[in-house]
Amino acid sequence: MFKKLFGSSEPKEEKVLPWQALVDISQLDLIAEKSKTKTQIIFKHSTRCGISSMVMKQFVASYDIDLNADLYYLDLLSYRAISDEVGYKFQVVHQSPQLLVIKNGVVVAHDSHSGVNNIELSQFA
């Protein structure tokens, strides 16, 4: 009965995604080039925002590790210039949190806030 009310005291194994840190503007050209042969995904995250943290936890929990895509993480507070350049290069208005799906050099899907987890990534991989 207590396990149902309070959960198990056993630690849960945390899911680790194959994140690649997006820390240099030059990576954006590489992402655009790689998107010609493999789907590229950018997750823009504000580390000081509770909503962004909640969306990220949901994203991690539902992400399919076997998805044929490269997954990038952008800490937009630490790399604001890169975040701005993402908007210019891929023609999307900045939001946080935000997910961009890139194929053939262009964004084929993007959303922000709770909409991030509504994107069906498998249709793009």
Query: What is the band of 3 on the pLDDT scale with cuts at 50, 70, 90?
Result: low
For the chain, the average pLDDT equals 88
Q: Look at residue 104 and tell me whether its pLDDT is greater than 90.
A: yes
Burial of 107 from C-beta contacts in 10 A (0-12 / 13-18 / 19+): middle
Residue 36 lies in a domain: yes
Q: Look at residue 24 and tell me whether its pLDDT is greater than 90.
A: yes
Which residue range is the domain that position 85 belongs to?
A: 17-120
- Of 106 and 15, the structure prediction assigns the larger pLDDT to 106
Q: Tell me, what's the pLDDT at 2?
A: 44
Question: How many domains are contained in the chain?
Answer: 1
Q: Tell me, what's the pLDDT at 16?
A: 85
Residue 8 lies in a domain: no
CA distance 61 to 121: 14
Q: Are the C-beta atoms of 99 and 114 separated by less than 8 Å?
A: no
Residue 46 lies in a domain: yes
Residue 7 lies in a domain: no
pLDDT mean over 42-56: 91
Residue 3 lies in a domain: no
Highest-confidence segment of 17-21, 30-34, 107-111:
30-34
Question: Residue 11 is encoded by which pair of tokens?
Answer: 């630690």
CA distance 62 to 50: 19
CA distance 68 to 102: 13
Q: Look at residue 79 and tell me whether its pLDDT is greater than 50.
A: yes
Task: Write the DSSP string, 57-123.
Answer: HHHHHH--TT-SEEEEEEETTT-HHHHHHHHHHHT----SSEEEEEETTEEEEEEEGGGGGGS-GGG
Q: Tell me, what's the pLDDT at 6?
A: 53
Locus of tokens 């998805």: 67
Q: Tell me, what's the pLDDT at 114?
A: 85
Residue 54 lies in a domain: yes
CATH number, domain containing residue 115: 3.40.30.10
The reported pTM is: 0.86
Residue 4 lies in a domain: no
β-bridge partners, 117: none
